[in-house]
């Protein structure tokens, strides 16, 4: 009886050790009920901010994150047209105030169509770079009345009213979208330089 108990105890200990080893082991395959090897499709999800139906994550750059947003297709098209994809994909860091499609819809259609023409590339670039500030500024860095010098050269003014933050009067609707090369703020207006 003592021998039988010892055998059972050793068997349980062996199974427990095997289970413990297997639970810490990473495997690229799993087995389904028919004992066929299946690829492991478990994915870890990176924390981020949802914008336009897509998760904006710190491992992607500003452009890569913007490409996933259904709310920023006009901005992405304008960035491509202006030839700024490579710049905004660079090391930065940048702070970008990103107008939504609804914000661009407030711009007269004829004006927007003209800006998207190759002959207007310089003007489009001035407008887009007016939305970009050197450095990675999080919302905790912003102060009421603060002025920020843009890549375009002119200044933007940050204000707050009734708990809402604005840049040049456009509402900041989503703050602190962190990318590998900076920070993005979603805004409800297109900022126009003087």
CATH code: domain of residue 180 = 2.30.180.10
The verdict on residue 77 lying in a domain is: yes
Q: Is residue 19 part of a domain?
A: no
Is position 39 within any domain?
A: no
Domain count, the chain: 1
Domain membership flag for residue 28: no
Tell whether 62 is covered by a domain.
yes
Written as tens digits, the pLDDT of the chain (194 aa) is: 444 333 333 343 333 333 333 433 343 444 444 454 545 444 556 788 889 888 999 999 999 999 999 999 999 999 999 999 999 999 999 999 999 999 999 999 999 999 999 999 999 999 999 999 999 999 999 999 999 999 999 999 999 999 999 999 999 999 999 999 999 999 999 999 98
Residue 2 inside a domain? The answer is no
Is residue 122 in a domain? yes
- Give residue 28's pLDDT: 41
Domain ranges, residue 73: 49-187
pLDDT at 110: 94
pTM, 2 dp: 0.76
Residue 156 lies in a domain: yes
HEC secondary structure over the chain: CHHHHHHHHHHHHHHHHHHHHHHHCCCCEEECCCCCEEECCCCCCCCCEEECCEEECCCCCHHHHHHCCCCCHHHHHHHHHHCCHHHHHCCCCEEEEEECHHHHHCCCHHHHHHHCCHHHHHHHHHHHHCCEEECCCCHHHCCCCCEEECCCCCEEEEEEECCEEEECCEEEEEEEEEECCEEEEEECCCCCCC
């Amino acid at each position: 009886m003592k021998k039988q108990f010892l055998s059972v105890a050793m068997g349980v200990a062996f199974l427990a050790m095997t289970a413990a080893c297997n639970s810490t082991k990473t495997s690229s395959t799993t087995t389904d009920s028919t004992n066929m090897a299946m690829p492991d499709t478990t994915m870890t999800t990176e924390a981020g901010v949802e914008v336009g139906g897509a998760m904006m994550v710190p491992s992607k750059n500003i452009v890569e994150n913007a490409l996933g947003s259904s709310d920023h297709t006009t901005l992405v098209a304008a960035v491509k047209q202006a030839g700024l994809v490579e710049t905004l994909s660079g090391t930065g860091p940048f702070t970008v105030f990103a107008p939504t499609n609804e914000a661009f819809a407030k711009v007269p259609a004829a004006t927007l169509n003209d800006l998207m023409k190759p002959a207007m590339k310089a003007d489009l670039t001035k407008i887009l770079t007016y939305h970009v500030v050197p450095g990675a500024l999080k919302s905790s860095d912003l102060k009421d009345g603060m002025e920020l010098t843009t890549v375009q050269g002119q200044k933007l003014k940050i204000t707050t009213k009734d708990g809402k933050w604005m840049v040049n009067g456009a509402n900041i609707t989503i703050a602190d979208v962190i990318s590998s090369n900076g920070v993005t703020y979603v805004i409800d207006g297109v900022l126009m330089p003087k």
